[in-house]
Structure formats: C-alpha cells, structure tokens
Structure 1
C-alpha cells in the first residue's frame, strides 16, 4: 500500500520521539470557529483548520456526535490515542484534532532538536518564500483572498480550484474551476499553491499526483506539519506553516472565535520551510 503524506509525517515523528511519545498527553484542546488548537503536557501547541463546512449536521444533530473529537474526555488523553484519527475513515473534525496534535508534537521536535537542518527556514508569507516569477501561471487549491488580490494587481494568469464557489467574489469567478476539474486544471499551471486543509479531507495526495514534472509546489496554512523530508520526497518546494508563541494566550483567543487575522504575528509566527 502506498504511504500518504500524513503517513510519512507521522512515521518520522514517531521515529524521532521514540518511547517519549507514549508518555505525552493532551493538556488542553480548543475547537474554535476557524482553528482547532491543542496544548500538550510539555507546553507545546499545534493548530489545524476547523473543517466546519464538511460537517454541517454536527452543529445541531445529536446523531452526528461521533463526528466530534470526544468533548469532555480530551484532557489527559494520550496523544497516541488522538493520532489514531489520522487514519482514513475518521471524521474531518477528529482528523483535524489529530493533525493539530501532530503539529504540537512536531513543535516538540523543533524545540528539542532545533531548526530542521534539511531545509532553509524563513519567516513571513509563504508566497514571498515561493518568489513567483513573471509570467508563471498559478493554480490555487482554495480561495486564498490575499493571493488573488495580488494576482489581479499584477495581471497574473491563475485558476482557483475550490469546493465552495460562494467564497469567491464576482470578479474572481472567471478564474474559478470546480475541485473535480483538478486533473485537467493543475497541469495547466507552472506553480501549484494548495491549502493545507487538503490534509484534513484527504485530497492532497491525489492533487499532487496531478502535478506535471517541473511544477513548483507550495503547501500553505497553519494545518501544515513542519517536517521537510516527506514534502521533499513529493516534489514540494515550500511549506508555509505556523509556530505558537505561547499556548495559553493562543488557545484563549481560539475559544473567543479568533481567525488568522487575530493570530498571525501576535500569538503565532508564520514560518516557511524552503526545500531546494
């Protein structure tokens, strides 16, 4: 069976933490409107996007409680239990909680071992790290509003693969393509920039399989686990993720409904892995 990107990210994390992994538990977990955040008992924190649109029934229907990641039973839970929800078949909310936990474990590795030696690390927006060239055509997976604004200003040709066209403005719709058109749209581009939420819905590996040789690829968003080697093996050049400064204040903000605008450069740092 072919390993997915998540399989390899988890495998490297398990290998590097070794027996210590079995001793780590959750200290706190918050499911915010925009992000899920977890704090481990070692003080490290991780984020993942909240996949609200993928579970509309869970907000009101008691029959959908299984979609939620065990409310009231998370504090003190071994992280190895939570990581089981990375497997196929887990609900989007459970998988997002598991990815946030994985990200907190990877933050543990950064603090334990320092900056990854296998990549250059920069701060700030992943788009700057990717350094788009004049004339390059871009395929966006996800309606990244800041990127689309920048592309319009510079007259760049781009396409947006998006599951919900309502997230695009009328003047952006000429660039829209349904997510189901990925096999035809992705090879058209010179650069592929994907939201890391594709790790939650399990679509990322299929999207990467559509990329043609020579395409430059970036994965962007707080959901992205920050370990370089599994990405390099799949031809990804830039991974734009985040690191939490302090878990407590960050989770407090999430509990109050904070979005990225409330978090970036305040409670979290935007960090890029550049894989040459």
Structure 2
C-alpha cells in the first residue's frame, strides 16, 4: 500500500461543511432512493433527486461476496433504500473500504445539493472542463501520477512530457509505459521530485491522501481528479491542492442503470454525468 495511513479528516471537513450548508434538520430528512454497487463505481440517488458516485474498491474485498467475512464489509442489501443518509455518511470513518466508498458516494451527492443551495464563496466552478485544461505544465516539468490514469498517460506520452507513475500493480501499465513505472512504495522518494502531482480520490478511500500531500514540495502544483473526489473542495484547498476535478451527476437513474450493467467512467462521462473542476479564488 501507499506509505503511511493518516486519518481522513478531509472527508470529515467536507461533511461538516455539508451539514453547515444544508442544516442538520434538512440533512436528517434526506434518504437514499436507490443505490448500485457496480463493478467499477458505486452510485446513489437521494430522495432530493441528487446523485453521487465513488470508485468501487474491488481489490479490497478479501474473498467472494458469498463469504460472510466479505459480505460484512458491504452496506446491508435490502436495508439501503429508504434509509437516512445520516446512517451512511458516518461510514467515512469505516475500516471497510466498500462501506467508506459508499459513504463518499452519498457525500458527493450531498455536495452537489450544496452547490445549488448556496453560491460558492471561496472557489469557482467550471463545468465540462478537465483539470489539465486549466493548469500550465512547463515542458520540462516532472509530472508524478498516482495510479495508471490512462487518458493522462496518453497525453503525456504524446507531448513528450516527463512523467512517472506510482502504481501498486505494474500490470496496470502497457509494456511501453514500464520505463515510467515506480512502485507505490517509493512515494516518499518520488513525490518530492514532482513539479506536478496528479492523484485520484481513491487515495481518500485508502487513507493515503494526507501523507502523499505532505511529501510535495511547496511550489508543486497539485491536482485531485476523478468521480470519487466530487465532494466539497474547500478542505482540499486548505491542504494546498490547486485544482479538484470531479463529476456532477445529471441523470441519476440512467447513471445507476449504467453502473448496474458494469459501466465505467467511459460509459457515463458526457452522458449521465459531466466533468467539473473547482479552483480556489
């Protein structure tokens, strides 16, 4: 795994902000209308009409789901629909990666509701934009990517951009990408060299994000990207993140249908969810 585990206070800070914006009474009245734990993503639709997604940490499941030890790490089937969101957001502190990711999907849906409930005060929202469209990466800058983010690796190779990929599983990279591979255990050594660090919200699920951010040099540009990171962005900015890229679910039911059929981001981007970025003012 990626270095030291640190408590997920970004998630708690995001939940605190959501509670402040929506209010405890309103938050307590919102329930889960529908949920899907898909092969690639977990998705929820809330009773207020908002949807949220988060990565399915499939590799964290120790055995087949028919095994009681594995099933205990999941939200209880048959008990989710109609349950209050307050019953699930507390799982942002769960030791089960699946339960935690489910809680993050709920958090992301609530964060979308907050955007409509209150005009952002300390950040700007840009829809239909990718983080790499708004950051300036000098041609000689070293980019360190946490995980095999295929579209970004393709772009860096095309532009001959210097980059390294920190990844647990070398099989996630193509043969021609292996010169750029560094095992995730080298994070403490590699990240301080980065002029640009790009990571995903998956690091929120495995509790590594705070240690990874702490390794960055002061002048590094930091980007958090992916559907899992679609929550309130202020806690990221307070930790020197420059751009947060996520998604806003535009058609919750259609999105959940796609996830239930094994769909991935390629199947819902621009169709049932749109890319969005947040930048601090």
Q: Which has the higher contact order (CA 8 A, sep 6+)?
A: 2
2:37 aligned residue (28, 31, 44): 31
1:126 aligned residue (124, 131, 136): 131
Is the contact made by 2:44 and 2:52 (CA closer than 8 Å) also made in structure 1?
Answer: yes
Paired residues in the alignment total 274
Is the contact made by 1:226 and 1:273 (CA closer than 8 Å) also made in structure 2?
Answer: no
Are residue 200 (structure 1) and residue 227 (structure 2) matched? no
**Residue by residue, what CA displacement relative to the aligned partner does 1:180-229 show, whole Å, maximum 9, x if unpaired?**
11111001110000011111111111111111111110000000133232
Gaps in structure 2 of 5+ consecutive residues: 1-5
Residue in 2 aligned with 1:105? 110
Are residue 184 (structure 1) and residue 228 (structure 2) matched? no
Q: How does 1:1-276 map to 2 (within 5 A)?
A: 4-18=9-23, 19-87=25-93, 89-114=94-119, 116-122=120-126, 123-276=128-281
Which consecutive segments of 4 or more residues in structure 1 shift more than 3 A? Answer: none
| 1-structure distance, mates of 2:104, 2:51 | 11
Alignment root-mean-square deviation, CA: 1.6
TM-score (norm 2): 0.93
TM-score (norm 1): 0.95
Gaps in structure 1 of 5+ consecutive residues: none
| 1-structure distance, mates of 2:89, 2:59 | 22
| 2-structure distance, mates of 1:219, 1:25 | 28
Is the contact made by 1:226 and 1:239 (CA closer than 8 Å) also made in structure 2?
Answer: no
